Amino acid sequence: MNLTIIGSGYVGLTTGTCFAEMGHHVICVDNNREKIRTLQSGSIPIYEPKLEDLIRKNVAVGRLEFSPDIASSIPQSDVIFIAVPTPPNTDGSVDLTYIEKVAREIAEVLKPEMGYKVIVDKSTVPVKTGEKVRQTIKRYAGPDVQFDIVSNPEFLREGCTVDDLLHPDRIVIGANSERAMNVIKRVYQPIHAPILETDVNSAELIKYAANSFLALKISYINAVAKVCEKTGADVELVAEGIGMDKRISRHFLNAGLGYGGSCFPKDVKAFINISRTLGIPFTLLEEVERINDSQHTHFLDQIRDRLWVLKDKKIAVWGLAFKQNTDDIRESISLKLCEKLRKEGAIVTATDPKAIGTARSRLEELGVTPVEDMYECARDAEVLIIATEWSDYANADLQKLAEIMRNRIIFDGRNILSPANIRAVGFEYHSVGRPFIEEA
Ligand code: UDX
């Protein structure tokens, strides 16, 4: 099939590439000409495992193209996917101006003689946005164009996007016509995954409900972690014990500094706002957000307790990305910690296997020194903070670390080091919801 993807950001680029890998002909469009030039020249603007190879392969066989122009791509496409950003407004509501603009642009291109088109919303949007997009296109394109609107939310996780797209747990298709439903089912035919067919409103709601539920699981285990800290229990064992119940599952029960990234913080906020607007405030989610915000401040309080005064103390931070296997620093808890440490006058060095480049200007603003090598970053540090769950950090050479740090103190905000290894080398070790280990 011939597909156009409007918006070549994270979701658009990765989804378009995977559609090409499934055998479709895909044109990824973006109004940022610089980005399109970069993609056309064979470079990709983000770090995502497996993506670069897949782009190269599909461009080489002619299944994947990049273009700044929807006027030429839409006429030759059966399906047009909208994958533009839906950022939060300051009041927590969702900024839908990009979606509305794209709807008008599509309408200007659509002509009755082009035949039937399916327009699919992949961006995360409040329930009933599909209806607004339909009305807008109808208004600007005239009554004779033939099209349907579909909601097909995306559940990919950064860092494992390609696998998530090619082997999803489920595909949700929200359509209000059988014709549109059948077209989108054909798009996904090469994928072996259960398809849930819904109406448009339900599909839009599934995305917010799913992300908010995952965020809720994280805040739940983080709240349990605080109880563990007070009682000497171990949150890892508690998570194991509750996660063995299939109704609960162990996934997304890793206690730590809390969730960051481009989705959870934004989507929880938006769901709170949507429910408030509907007159049914979702106060449970307000608490999820409050717990998440308190995770890193509580962690910082513990570091301050230990060092007494942070001013002029050298503190090393391992991890800048909001999670492992990405260079994305959006809503990174690590950067929030860096900012607060700097405000108190600490001397901060920071490292990351992939995100130093994306974080560089923010680090400069904060006065944090970026260091490529993780051990050099920790040299002479009074405390080492682990803020991102990279496997390099889980497998760190603790003996080497002990030799170069000023104090043998680690604050592990992602619970990735093994207490047995810590004890063997004799570090003082603080983590989240696990028993404190004293320096040997
Ligand atoms: C998330 C959803 O998982 C995905 O389905 C949706 O499409 C987009 O949002 P993503 O933001 O890429 O994906 O990352 P994810 O792996 O979900 O992690 C989000 C944050 O939660 C990270 O900061 C991570 O460190 C944190 N996290 C995750 C925890 O603190 N504990 C956990 O158990 C899991």
**Shortest CA distance to 46 belongs to which of 10, 12, 17?**
10
32 within 8 A of 84, measured Cβ to Cβ: no
- The protein residue with its alpha carbon nearest to ligand 1, atom 21, reads 259
- In the Cβ-directed half-sphere of 163, how many Cα atoms lie within 13 Å? 6
Summarize the confidence of residues 285-292 as an average pLDDT.
98
More confident residue, 130 or 92: 130
- The protein residue with its alpha carbon nearest to ligand 1, atom 34, reads 252
Summarize the confidence of residues 251-270 as an average pLDDT.
96
Mean pLDDT is lowest, of 10-24, 35-49, 214-228, 327-341, for 35-49
Residue 408's contacts (CB-CB under 8 Å, 6 or more residues apart) are 402, 425, 426, 427, 428, 439
- The protein residue with its alpha carbon nearest to ligand 1, atom 27, reads 259
The set of protein residues with a Cβ atom below 6 angstroms from ligand 1 is 154-158, 211, 214, 218, 252-254, 256, 258-261, 263-264, 322-323
Side chain identity at 353, as an amino acid letter? P
Using pLDDT thresholds of 50, 70 and 90, give the confidence band for residue 92: confident
Q: Rounded to 10 degrees, what is the CA torsion of 144, 145, 150, 153?
A: -140
Alpha-carbon span 123 to 11, nearest angstrom:
8
Closest ligand 1 atom, residue 332 Cα: 23
Using CA atoms, how far residue 69 sits from 12, 18, 84, 118, in Å, is: 15, 21, 15, 18
Residue 20: phi, psi to the nearest 5?
Answer: -65, -40
251 pLDDT higher than 90: yes
| Amino acid 91: pLDDT | 87
| Amino acid 440: pLDDT | 79
Report the catalytic residues.
Answer: 263
Residue 318's H or E segment, with its range, is strand 314-318
Summarize the confidence of residues 99-111 as an average pLDDT.
97
Interval 416-432: pLDDT, tens:
999 999 999 999 999 99
* Percent of all residues in the chain with a pLDDT value above 70, rounded to a whole number: 100
Alpha-carbon span 6 to 150, nearest angstrom:
15
Interval 131-166: pLDDT, tens:
999 999 999 998 899 999 999 999 999 999 999 999
Interval 314-353: pLDDT, tens:
999 999 999 999 999 999 999 999 999 999 999 999 999 9
Task: Report ipTM (2 d.p.).
Answer: 0.97
Q: Rounded to 10 degrees, what is the CA torsion of 373, 378, 380, 384?
A: 170
* Percent of all residues in the chain with a pLDDT value above 90, rounded to a whole number: 97
439 pLDDT higher than 90: no
| Amino acid 212: pLDDT | 98
